[in-house]
Amino acid sequence: MIDHATFIHQHTELLAVPLVPEIRLHLAHEAVPIWQKTEEELGKLGLPPPFWAFAWAGGQALARYVLDHPQIVAGKTVLDLASGSGLVGIAAMKAGARSVLAADIDAFALAAIAINAAANGCHLTTTGEDLLNVARQDFEVILVGDLFYEQTTAARCLAFLESSRGEILIGDPGRSYLPKQRLQEVATYAVPVSRDLEDSEIKKTSVWRIAPACQRWPSAPIVASQLVPSEPFVPDLRSAGEAGAQRTDCAAQHAGAKRQPATGPTAPAARTREFVTFRQ
């Protein structure tokens, strides 16, 4: 049986991340073939989707924000929660973080994080422990890229973040279970993404912080059943045909926004071989 690191080297290419070209990651071009290959070569069925082989919109926006605002992490201890490829943690190290713990429950992701960190000349400590069970008071900054696509995990993550200490930033394009009513938008980007994964080539994606308790609505803790798919804003992205990222201010986003009916993400466990799509 092939080991994870060898598999990653054989089935990915070292590519610049579109919104964060100063970082290169081992990335796949298409989702389903690498997922099938993983199961074939490891001789196991029912493996989680290869999230680690892509730079998700939320992670790209958050990495860009961290690199452009290095003071947020410089000299600090950072948790990159749901690290995937390691993109956000690598950005934090490049921005001067004292240390980064990259957490992901997928063993492939842990191998990818180590390989990608080395490719970018940095080192991240990794853990495969599910940290969402206990609030963390030992990180000065917690970064979360694209983890609000599944209802139960989203609720657990929100509870974890609201009870943790430190600066908390979330990168998310408005996935179905993003608790927008508990968050404040701090920056927005038009992120180039793969049409194979999303339903477009540009995804409007924001960096959010947890709103102060007094501004949250509702004020009671959110449980999973309350996190119903939201009606996301689909922006009128005038820049959609342009390459690269465009920052927009909040007023402009909302002026140009159109409402569309929500559609939920495809169930991660679907045996249809459809990759998890985050279309909304």
Residues near ligand SAM, by CB under 6 A: 51-52, 55-56, 58-59, 81-85, 87-88, 103-106, 109, 130, 132, 145-147, 153
Interior angle at CA 150, CA 277 and CA 218, nearest 5: 130
Minimum CB distance to ligand SAM, residue 104 (Å): 4
Are the CB atoms for 155 and 224 separated by under 8 Å?
A: yes
- 3-state SS assignment for residue 39: helix
Minimum CB distance to ligand SAM, residue 215 (Å): 26
Alpha-carbon distances, residue 85 vs 116, 138, 247 (angstroms): 7, 23, 24
Q: Cβ closer to ligand SAM: 138 or 249?
A: 138
Minimum CB distance to ligand SAM, residue 84 (Å): 2
Q: Cβ closer to ligand SAM: 58 or 174?
A: 58
Nearest residue to ligand SAM, using CB? 59
Beta strands in 86-221 (DSSP E): 99-103, 125-127, 141-145, 167-172, 183-192, 202-210
Q: Cβ closer to ligand SAM: 18 or 58?
A: 58
Dist CA 88 CA 59 (whole Å) = 6
Minimum CB distance to ligand SAM, residue 277 (Å): 11
Q: Cβ closer to ligand SAM: 128 or 238?
A: 128
